[in-house]
Amino acid sequence: MAVWREVRRSGALQLQQSVIAFPDGEAFARAIARIRAAVDQVGGSTLALHGEPVDASDDERLQSAWNEARSDEYGELIAECEKLVAEIDKEFAKQKFTLAELDEEEQSLERLRRWYRELKLRDLFGAPSATTAESQLRESQARLEDFAERVYGALHEH
């Protein structure tokens, strides 16, 4: 399970069972080292190879698969942003303007920001859903700012 988590966290492209691929780059070299360490911990072994696509169509297929994987991740991020906005809207409806609630929502937004930054680092080929994710993250931030203003306003009323 630890190996699977590390592979998932790295953004690796799963080609077959136990066969993954990354674009060439320093960030991915660190991911390979983390995956190797996780495999070693459970007594397994790894073999890392540096390869090149045979022709342009193979390169296009790899880039397309990489973008599809990033789009899936961006889709998950977008869904989580939508959940945060829905949660904030629920607090508005209940008029629950407390510092504890604001702190919880700020932590959620910070987690989404970190996730987005990590995705952007892996998005080497410009996945189309990146702009939607960025927009949804901005909307989440704006909605949280509105909520923060209401929380601080409610505090000053008391």
| Residues 67 and 135 occupy one common structural domain | yes
The helix-helix angle for 99-122 and 56-94 (nearest 10°) equals 170
Place of tokens 């303007």: 97
| Residues 148 and 78 occupy one common structural domain | yes
Phi and psi at 84, nearest 5°, equal -65, -45
Place of tokens 């674009």: 23
| Residues 60 and 118 occupy one common structural domain | yes
| Residues 96 and 154 occupy one common structural domain | yes
- Average pLDDT (123-133) is 95
| Residues 44 and 62 occupy one common structural domain | no
Residue 144 in contact with residue 88, Cβ under 8 Å? yes
What pLDDT shows up at residue 44? Answer: 93
78: CB partners within 8 A, 6+ apart: 129, 132, 133, 136
| Residues 64 and 142 occupy one common structural domain | yes
Among 51, 73, 89, which residue terminates a domain? 51
Structural domain containing residue 145 = 54-158
Per-residue three-class SS string for 38-50: HHHHCCCCCCCCC
Among 36, 51, 66, which residue terminates a domain? 51
| Residues 11 and 74 occupy one common structural domain | no
User: Closest Cα to residue 152, out of 85, 106, 118, 86?
Assistant: 106
Q: pLDDT (tens digit, 9 = 90+) per residue, 70-106? A: 999 999 999 999 999 999 999 999 999 999 999 999 9
Whether residue 18 is predicted with pLDDT greater than 90 in this model: the reply is no
Q: How many structural domains compose the chain?
A: 2
What pLDDT shows up at residue 158? Answer: 66
The pTM of the full predicted model, rounded to 2 decimals, is 0.86
| Residues 62 and 135 occupy one common structural domain | yes
CA distance 150 to 42: 50
